Amino acid sequence: MKWTNAKSFLLKDIPGDEPVGIIRGVHASKDALPSKVTQRVAARQEQADLSRRQTEILSLLIKGRSNKEISSSLSITEHAVKYHLKALFTKLNVKDRTNAAIHAVRKGIVHLE
Say if 5 falls within a structural domain: no
**Full-model pTM:** 0.58
- Contact present, 78 and 71 (Cβ < 8 Å): yes
- Residues 109 and 44: beta-carbon distance below 8 Å: no
Residue 68 lies in a domain: yes
pLDDT score recorded for residue 27: 78
Does residue 102 lie within any of the structural domains?
yes
If asked whether residues 58 and 96 sit together in one domain, one would say yes
Structural domain of residue 31, as residue ranges?
14-41
| pLDDT tens for each residue of 53-99 | 999 999 999 999 999 999 999 999 999 999 999 999 999 999 999 99
Residue 54 neighbours by CB distance under 10 Å: 19
| Count of structural domains within the chain | 2
From residue 56, alpha-carbon distances to 33, 47, 53 in Å are 32, 12, 5
